[in-house]
Amino acid sequence: MLVQMAPLVLIFVVFYFLLIRPQQKKMKEHKAKIDAVKKGDQVVTGGGLVGKVVRVDEFYADVELAPGMKVKAVKSTLTDVIDPATAKPAND
């Protein structure tokens, strides 16, 4: 019986370490990054809009997309925080 189940257990273990565990780690890192968002950070929303955070509370972040144009975004929909050291200016 154990010999018959060994391949199934082995497949599950390989599946866990190659797919599930890395995804959980990535989600944990993303959550930590979004939870650390603060005023002045440049962020990308789920819709692809890029703006500067002007206010943050527990669930929402006010993002300024252009001077005088602010939107309220749910923090969990922010997809990335742009590092100003590595960001390249746009070619206007």
Q: Which fold has domain 2-82?
A: SH3 type barrels. (2.30.30)
Q: Are 46 and 27 in contact (CB under 8 A)?
A: no
Q: What is the dihedral sign for C-alpha 52, 54, 57, 61?
A: negative
Q: Note the pLDDT of residue 87.
A: 67
pLDDT tens-place string over residues 69-91: 999 999 999 999 998 777 666 66
| Bridge partners, 55 (sequence order) | 62
C-alpha–C-alpha distance, residues 60 and 78, integer Å: 10
Q: What residue ranges do the domains of the chain occupy? A: 2-82
- Given this model, what pLDDT does residue 1 score? 81
Strands 69-74 and 50-56, how do they pair?
Answer: unpaired
Confidence label for 64 from pLDDT (cuts 50, 70 and 90): very high
